[in-house]
Structure 1
Amino acid sequence: MRVAASVTADRLAASSIAAETIVRAVAVWRAARAADRPVLPPLHALLAPIGHDMLAPVIDSVLRLGEQCLGRTPCRDCPFGSQTDVELLIDLLRDPRRVATLPRCAQAAPKAKAVFAGALASAGVMMAMA
């Protein structure tokens, strides 16, 4: 996992996915969930014009697993420590190993933490390939 996380961080840094796109994707995802609508169509609509439509299910998976780890739906302005949830997500995509340091995740089942860290690492690879 140490090598994979390092490679993922490097790939995300070189990725064509901007942090702004992640911020917008989280907002679209959250709005669809709040309205009890499917999340993939609006994510696809956001990402397709910039050629990243294949990331819609990836982002959905990461956010759903993040919900389990945080114990709530990620929000743009909700603080989690010194960061907002979106800033935290961007940092976690850069370095999935940080999942272990999150207080809420530290209380989660070990399997949930491992699954979330794996999803973050996979998302970083997919974003680097986009």
Structure 2
Amino acid sequence: PNVNAFALPGGYLYVTRGLLALANDSSELAAVIAHEMGHVTANHGLQRQQLEAEEGLATKVVSDVLGDSPTAKAALIRGKLRLAQFSRNQELQADAIGIKSIGEAGYDPYAAGRFLQSMSAYT
């Protein structure tokens, strides 16, 4: 089964049945939901859409000006690396928000790590 959870702009959270089955307890499920809520409260979806639009415009300008040159290819790679770093930073921020939130709500904050271990063993 598909094991996934994600947040969309507007505060919509989705959790698959596969993820529900993989979670060993309510603390692990709370950790996943709190992580996704972290994305929503930090406006990650909107920020990502904005950055992708900016990178798309930059890609068009680079292609129009530099064509298919090595300099153009290097600039496009740098843009993709910026997006990857941005995504990594968003994940770390959502982790921090989620762990803090579940701890404050009385759940085991170590549940996030346990669930990640379960995910790793599953895949």
With the length of structure 2 as denominator, give the TM-score of the two structures.
0.33
Q: Bigger radius of gyration, 1 or 2?
A: 2
RCO higher in structure (CA 8 A, sep ≥6): 1
* TM-score scaled by length of structure 1: 0.32
